[in-house]
Chains A and B, each alone.
Chain A
Amino acid sequence: MSEEITLGNSLPEIRNVMQRLEELAEKWHLDNRILFDISLSLDELLTNIISYGYQDDTAHQIRIGIELKADQIIIVLQDDGREFNPLSAKSPDFRTGLNEKPIGGLGIHLVRKMMDGVDYRREAGLNILTLTKNLD
């Protein structure tokens, strides 16, 4: 089973994506934990793309493909923003004390912890990020 969600590059549209995910979770009988991990990961990635991905003022489309397999959910996120590999972002290190805490990279760090696989490629002017979440 698979679904596609499309959104424009404005932050309030992320809420619509979250609602679509809730509907999908119900339809596919996903448990709340899986829904939460997927919602938060997509929220973080979409927020980054919309906030930093575009250098013009024109409207852009972001596409999310979600596929339910027997033991995995595979999500493919495509945007035509500037080239950005989220896997190159450094994870924040909070052990060094409050003053030194870098703020950037936190969202990506959460995504990497919550997903079982994150894979990036740049193809035909698109950032293509594939997320894998194991169902257990």
Chain B
Amino acid sequence: MEIKQQQKKNVEILSLVGRLDANTAGILEKKLIPLFDSYSRDVVIDFSELDYISSAGLRILLLAAKTARNKEGSIVLCSMQDFIREIFEIAGFMPVFKITNTLEEALQELEK
């Protein structure tokens, strides 16, 4: 998996490319969790180029949601392929995350 990182205004955007599984979850953890070291960070995770996710990846996202909440940060997920969204549904993650269809909507969500 590759992670592309960019900033728009004060929002950190991470784009995940490839497969998020037990082999690659650590890469995301190292990049994502420290973003919340400073208070009230806004983070968008773009799933448009993610082909696969397993529970190892879901765990990191859950950890990120908890960390964000403790540090008054926000996290929005966007542009998921249908089968990945379905895994979120099966996992019971829908109430935990704000998920939008596009990156633009994710950025608008954070402006609210």
Contacts and interface: CB of A to CB of B under 8 A. Distances in A.
Contacts, number: 60
A101 B90 contact: no
A14 to B, nearest CB: 7
Which of the four size classes fits the interface of chain A? 20 to 34
A7 interface: no
Classify the interface of chain B: helix, strand, loop or mixed: helix
Interface in B38-66: 52, 54-56, 58-59, 62, 65-66
Interface residues of B, number: 21
Nearest to A50: B22
A101 B64 CA distance: 13
Contacts of B92: 92-95
Minimum-distance CB pairs A-B, first 8 = A94-B92, A107-B55, A106-B55, A47-B22, A113-B90, A43-B54, A11-B22, A36-B83
Interface of B: 21-23, 52, 54-56, 58-59, 62, 65-66, 69, 83, 87, 90-93, 95-96
